[in-house]
């Protein structure tokens, strides 16, 4: 298996089923439109045309007041981050650690982007408490005033990935 950018002409989006209709629908119906509009990049873990898992990354900003005090950098009201918009693993591949592989790949891309442009880390909107727990295993912290929005600064990614 390997990581690639989604190519709707080559990758089988219709065969993907993670068990969550909203995540399946996004990949099948909306991901290509968002890519064409320049709103996101969708990365897949695939075996040829078969998609085992995917995630999306987009530019984002977060209000300084919502961040934990250790992350509040500078005098700016809005601070730059990437947002991990979606992350899903096909049912056939669940339980094999692919969710971990997907998020570590998202971290590598985020760190690479941070070396090129100014961003402080990555934000994620967990779909439920179970998903929030998954992200918290990697050191994500909840943002104040939100139930399921979490943040991970670049420095924490650096410690995780070495």
Active site residues: 135
Short-list 119, 153, 118, CA closest to 139? 153
Integer-rounded Cα Rg, in Å, for the chain is: 16
The whole-angstrom separation of Cα 139 and Cα 149 is 13
- Residue 157 token pair: 């990614």
Kindly give, in sequence order, each residue whose CB lies less than 8 Å from that of residue 74, ignoring residues fewer than 6 positions away. none
């Amino acid at each position: 298996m390997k990581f690639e950018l989604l190519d709707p002409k080559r990758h089988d989006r219709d065969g993907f089923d993670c068990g969550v209709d909203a995540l399946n629908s996004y990949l099948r119906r909306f991901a290509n439109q968002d890519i064409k509009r320049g709103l996101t990049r969708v990365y897949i873990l695939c075996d040829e045309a078969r998609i085992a898992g995917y995630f999306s990354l987009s530019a984002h900003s977060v209000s300084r007041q919502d961040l934990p005090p250790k992350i509040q950098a500078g005098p700016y009201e809005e601070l730059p981050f990437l947002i991990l918009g979606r992350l899903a693993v096909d049912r056939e591949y669940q339980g094999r650690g692919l969710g971990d592989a997907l998020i570590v790949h998202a971290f590598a891309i985020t760190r690479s982007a941070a070396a090129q442009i100014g961003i402080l880390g990555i934000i994620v909107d967990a779909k439920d408490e179970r998903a929030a727990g998954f992200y918290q295993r990697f050191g994500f912290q909840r943002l104040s005033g939100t139930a399921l929005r979490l943040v991970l600064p670049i420095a924490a990614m650096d410690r995780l990935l070495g």
